């Protein structure tokens, strides 16, 4: 049987199939569908220091091969997460990576310090790329700020650090390079693309927040391009995200250079997909005549 283990600097995973923040609740909701003991890891919904109501509804709308959301980081805040969800999450037989968002570097650092007390967490993913909150992408669109926040979090706790990047930039490689230089163990990309849906008869935007973030199969080619460019030019492991819904999609991200992937929007219409993909990945790596999945990473022939 193929060896599916992957190592992203200080973060070791049993296999490269993770589930993306915001598409998997706090895992309890998915327990009936997913074999947590099979998947590589779980990333629960973004936590902020204090509770947030999120944006006004409607907050989601289906689009052609995709979905727009403008949730606005609705969550109960860090202490409620620790009290209500973290205990359960840490009983799961999988890596749990907490996803955090602060309004400034101090907030990121405070959250990292607090979560750093939980040694059984596998890592922290820094959401510096939410398009739906005021200032949400400020960090992820500015390489200097990306460097500042990643370096500060690295200095504040021992947990492996992943920077989740936005595609809403001219050149994602410069932001990834800043994260790598600051000591990120990995970068995950991409978060959603800013988009809009319009009800032309009413002459109104569909989303309460007017604009939102596009995810799902519609963005896969765009995400693949970003992953390939970053993997080629930045010395940091990449976690690919963007419209993955089949084993072929997983393989495309791996050969493009992703060391791991996150399943996102597909969880909403196929909640058992992540564990099914682990089975299929095992078979596909075997069928390729490889002993280890890592031997397939970055094997795209494109000069």
Among 30, 39, 68, 71, binds ligand SIN (CB under 6 A): 71
Q: Does 22 bind ligand SIN (CB under 6 A)?
A: yes
Q: Does 132 bind ligand SIN (CB under 6 A)?
A: yes
Q: Does 191 bind ligand SIN (CB under 6 A)?
A: yes
Q: Rank residues 215 and 275 by Cβ distance to ligand SIN and give the closer one.
A: 215
Q: Does 69 bind ligand SIN (CB under 6 A)?
A: yes
Pairing of strands 186-189, 198-199: unpaired
Q: Does 127 bind ligand SIN (CB under 6 A)?
A: yes
Coil, strand or helix at 46? coil
Token pair in block for residue 135? 């200032």
Check if 226 is active-site: no
User: Contact 39/273 with Cβ under 8 angstroms?
Assistant: no
Cβ 198 to ligand SIN shortest distance, Å: 19
User: Contact 17/263 with Cβ under 8 angstroms?
Assistant: yes
User: Contact 244/263 with Cβ under 8 angstroms?
Assistant: yes
Among 146, 192, 259, 275, binds ligand SIN (CB under 6 A): 192
Q: Does 73 bind ligand SIN (CB under 6 A)?
A: yes
105-239-47-145 Cα dihedral, nearest 10 degrees: 10
Q: Rank residues 25 and 298 by Cβ distance to ligand SIN and give the closer one.
A: 25
Segment contacting ligand SIN by CB under 6 A, of 69-77, 173-181, 220-228, 235-243? 69-77
Q: Does 130 bind ligand SIN (CB under 6 A)?
A: yes
Q: Does 23 bind ligand SIN (CB under 6 A)?
A: no
Pairing of strands 17-19, 41-42: parallel
Count of beta carbons in the 10 Å neighbourhood of residue 153: 26
Cβ 201 to ligand SIN shortest distance, Å: 27
**Dist CA 192 CA 212 (whole Å):** 8
Q: Does 72 bind ligand SIN (CB under 6 A)?
A: yes
Q: How far is CA 148 from CA 52, 131, 191, 196, in A?
A: 25, 20, 20, 31
Given its phi and psi angles, is residue 186 left (phi above 0), alpha (psi -120 to 50 degrees) or beta? beta
Cβ 74 to ligand SIN shortest distance, Å: 6
User: Contact 256/228 with Cβ under 8 angstroms?
Assistant: yes
Pairing of strands 66-69, 60-63: antiparallel
Q: Rank residues 129 and 173 by Cβ distance to ligand SIN and give the closer one.
A: 129
Q: Does 166 bind ligand SIN (CB under 6 A)?
A: no
**Dist CA 261 CA 246 (whole Å):** 12
Cβ 174 to ligand SIN shortest distance, Å: 20
Segment contacting ligand SIN by CB under 6 A, of 27-35, 128-136, 198-206, 264-272? 128-136
Active-site residues, by number, are 130
Query: Which residues of this protein are in contact with ligand SIN, per CB under 6 A?
Result: 22, 46, 69, 71-73, 127, 129-132, 191-192, 213
């Amino acid at each position: 049987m193929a060896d599916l283990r992957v190592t992203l600097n200080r973060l070791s995973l049993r296999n490269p199939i993770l589930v993306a923040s915001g598409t998997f609740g706090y895992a309890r909701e998915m327990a009936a569908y997913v074999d947590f003991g099979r998947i590589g890891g779980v990333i629960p919904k973004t936590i902020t220091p204090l509770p947030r109501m999120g944006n006004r509804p409607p907050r989601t709308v289906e689009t052609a091969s995709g979905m727009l959301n403008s949730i606005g980081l609705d969550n109960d805040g860090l202490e409620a997460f620790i009290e209500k969800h973290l205990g359960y999450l840490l009983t799961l037989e999988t890596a749990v990576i907490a996803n955090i968002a602060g309004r400034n570097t101090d907030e990121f650092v405070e959250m990292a310090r607090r979560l750093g007390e939980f040694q059984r967490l596998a890592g922290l993913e820094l959401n510096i790329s939410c398009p739906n909150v005021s200032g949400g992408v400020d960090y992820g669109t500015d390489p200097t700020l990306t460097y500042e926040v990643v370096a500060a979090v690295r200095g504040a706790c021992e947990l492996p650090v992943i920077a989740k990047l936005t595609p809403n930039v001219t050149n994602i490689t410069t932001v990834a390079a800043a994260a790598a230089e600051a000591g990120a163990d990995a970068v995950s990309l991409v978060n959603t693309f800013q988009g809009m849906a319009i009800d032309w008869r009413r002459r109104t935007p569909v989303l309460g927040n007017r604009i939102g973030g596009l995810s799902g199969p519609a963005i896969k080619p765009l995400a693949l391009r970003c992953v390939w460019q970053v993997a080629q030019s930045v010395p940091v492991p990449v976690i690919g995200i963007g419209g993955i819904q089949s084993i072929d999609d997983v393989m495309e991200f791996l050969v493009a250079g992703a060391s791991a992937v996150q399943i996102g929007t597909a969880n909403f219409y196929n909640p058992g997909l992540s564990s099914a993909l682990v089975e299929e990945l095992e078979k596909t790596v075997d069928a390729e005549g490889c002993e280890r999945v890592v031997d397939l990473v970055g094997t795209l022939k494109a000069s």
